[in-house]
Amino acid sequence: MDLKGRSLLTLKDYTKEEIEYLIDLAIELKENKKKGILGDRLKNKNIALIFEKPSTRTRCAFTVACVDEGGHPEYLGKNDIQLGHKESVEDTARVLGRLFDGIQFRGFSQDTVAKLAQYSGVPVWNGLTDLYHPTQVLADLMTLKENFNTLEGLKLVYIGDGRNNMANSLMIGAAKLGINFTIIAPESLWPEKELVDQCEVYGKETGCKIVVSDNVDEVNGADAIYTDVWISMGEEDKAKERIEMLKPYQVNSEIMGKTGKDNSIFMHCLPAVKGYEVTEEVFEGKNSVVFDEAENRMHTIKAVMVATAGEK
């Protein structure tokens, strides 16, 4: 499959077959790395890594993935370049596009990453914005496939803050791949209706259901339960009110027991605030796959870079 030159801003832009191709490529690259086989498909390629927001997994995953394939990653923190301050995003994009073969952006505005893609002329990858986190979802889908050998027909439940970038992106990824997806959250934290409607359209094509509810009993039948922090970056002033609102939605052993399945897995994009969105017991339990997800960030990001900016 030829994805050369494509950006990854949101999984909305990718077909079911293209997403499956990236997951399968990531699994192959992971197997090769375990055998000590690394590639050179990014040889002589320079990759810009722009970070407005700090990161552990995204920065390390892009860096290691790039080096593994023979490329050179260049970290650009928010104080290293003039992005949107002394220089417009459009002009920065045109400069970086002349110097680099691909650009990763992790920051606040989806509009910024879209402009980088529009004006740079090279593949641009969304490492997280306030709206979407597609590289994380690719890692999550890969982890689901490793655990269940299939994706279609699974039931994935997201519980907690239902209108953040993870809830949005998981809903898109699940709907595109035929995974039944449920968001459980207080009504004031439900996702935008427009996005739910759009994902229902994807779901009709792939044969899955999208459910949005405030009832924790909807975890029944879940193959995987996913949560994220209750207070996203930039929302620290809402901490007290958010904690009170979301206490009933903590993933604990009682919630895990409501799935009715012994092999339901627990997922989290990390970092986690144990004792808030998830208990220590569940986080450290035998059904937790959170560190598999973290590792798989690197393999899926490598797949994305190789497929869109690499040499065959």
68 is in an annotated binding site: no
| Residues assigned a catalytic role | 106, 133, 136, 228, 269, 297
Q: What is the pLDDT of residue 234?
A: 76
- Give the chain's residues under pLDDT 50: none
55 is in an annotated binding site: yes
11-133+296-309 CATH fold:
Rossmann fold (3.40.50)
10 is in an annotated binding site: no
228 is in an annotated binding site: yes
What are the two backbone dihedrals, phi and then psi, of residue 105, each rounded to the nearest 5 degrees?
A: -130, 130
Best CATH choice for the domain 134-293 from the list 3.40.50.1370, 3.40.50.2300, 3.30.56.10, 1.10.10.60: 3.40.50.1370
Please, where in the chain does CATH 3.40.50.1370 lie?
11-133+296-309, 134-293
82 is in an annotated binding site: yes
pLDDT digits 0-9 by tens, 230-261 = 997 778 888 999 999 999 999 999 999 999 99
233 is in an annotated binding site: yes
7 is in an annotated binding site: no
